[in-house]
A and B are shown apart, each in its own frame.
Chain A
């Protein structure tokens, strides 16, 4: 075999393998999503959304408590996490632009994004559950907010940095103080980007389970009381999937279906906005 031939064959083999790898990635996605879709659609019915859970082992019932609880925890987490994240990102990109402190906080936020979420759960347990004496919804919301803040902070910083400095100078030239320049000019220019970051951060925390396990815990009854334990879809999935009953398993699939669709829709919307706005 000539040297050229060998080089060619080696190339073909290597490139075939990377093509296979790419299709393996696609395969997993189709496999997992397909499975969730098939099982989820089968288990989906109206009763799931309007009924509360039946007693363990009894067929029927729904997950109304978990849907409402999940919604409340996620909304509260968003209301806490988004303002802090956006304001923090503003400081890094505007007042502290180019300073060492901005770089340090930015790097730490990047690390925080990947810190194990269950550790944040234990932290919140020590701060908000143990002193109060019982599991509560607020603790879950705060745990999710802590995960959310660095995500929103970093995207806000990046999006504000993309706004050309000359736009700010134009506003300064009209005599506007910096806070007015930021709130009325820079925020408007970066609004789509910041909104996308918020959407993606909601998608990120909506599927979190580990930080809720011992903060908001679980509740098999319908409850709107954020001061007591509150049910969430993700913790319910964990409990039901690990449980012994078939009816639990099919409800877990249905819940998984709803949450996956919700998160993928948010993610796709976010990506589309980025594509459409920042091309």
Chain B
């Protein structure tokens, strides 16, 4: 192919045009990084790196800004939603690949894909109008009741159940990431060669033992990659949590309190920032989020590529 491309001048043109189009991806990544650093330079100069990342100040009136409350909110909602989502997602993958009769495989696969296609704003709005009242009237008072008196655990459920809090936001986030994790886990499970599974069955293993001792160990790298990928997505999710998290710049120990994530802060305050340092601090937050999610996603890609290589060899 190399020879033909050198002979014809039109071909050179087409090759360069397509080449430029593909390089835009690199340009965007470098461009985003450069622009965010440039725009946040004012805040970087004023607050530094360590101080900004560890300060809990977020005070537009006094023009004093720190990212810790936002980072805390992001991390806690992400971790909680992963805790809720991973078992369900892996359960779904096991069901679809091993248990389900063939008639059900199609519909459940489609259901997972549709769940993934619903835009995040719909999740957010549904969370605000439907899930949040359910959480505040039934689930949160119930959790409060059963945990009162248990040391440490009861701290998590202090305060009035309002439905606009970390717990509700995490539940919505978990519903959103279940399909991503489930579909990657399913694809990884499907790659287990049937010969390996059949030999386990032949020595008398039960269906669950085959899943536990053969399928999961065989596909753990891919599943892990899928989990990290969903983590990266959860970190940067905005609209699903913006409705139900409140926008509270405080570090709270109770899951029934409002909080703020980096994304929610950006969504709520970016268009209203009235001073240069305020806007610059918001860009700084965006930079932190970009770096954080880029590293997570790159790690996920690394694991998935490693898994791919392993399967194609084995």
A-side interface residues toward B, CB under 8 Å?
A: 7-8, 10-12, 14-15, 17-22, 24-26, 28-29, 31-33, 35-36, 39, 83-92, 94-97, 102, 104-105, 107-112, 114-123, 125-127, 146, 149-150, 153, 168, 172, 177-179, 182-183, 203, 206-210, 213-214, 217, 234, 237-238, 241-242, 249, 252-253, 256, 259-260, 263-264, 267-268, 271
Contacts and interface: CB of A to CB of B under 8 A. Distances in A.
A209 B117 CA distance: 14
B87 A21 contact: yes
B282 to A, nearest CB: 7
**Most central of B17, B96, B239, B305 by chain A CB within 10 Å:** B239
Interface stretch (B43-51, B143-151, B262-270): B262-270
Contacts of B59: none
A10 to B, nearest CB: 6
B99 interface: yes
A42 B286 CA distance: 39
A91 B15 contact: yes
Contacts, number: 286
Q: Which 10 A-B pairs have the closest CB atoms?
A: A207-B119, A116-B236, A21-B91, A11-B208, A91-B18, A88-B22, A87-B21, A179-B14, A22-B95, A18-B91
Contact of A238 (B31, B89, B242): B242
B29 interface: yes
Contacts of A83: 21
Given A18-B94, A179-B8, A116 B229 contact: no
A25 B263 contact: no
Nearest to B117: A267
A88 B113 contact: no
Interface in B202-230: 206-209, 211-212, 229
B14 A123 contact: no
B123 A242 contact: no
B117 A264 contact: yes
Given A7-B209, A107-B301, A271-B110, A115 B91 contact: no
Nearest to B32: A123
Interface string B185-215: 0000000000000000000001111011000
A122 B282 CA distance: 9
Given A32-B118, A179-B10, A260-B122, A94 B182 contact: no
Interface stretch (B62-70, B124-132, B251-259): B124-132
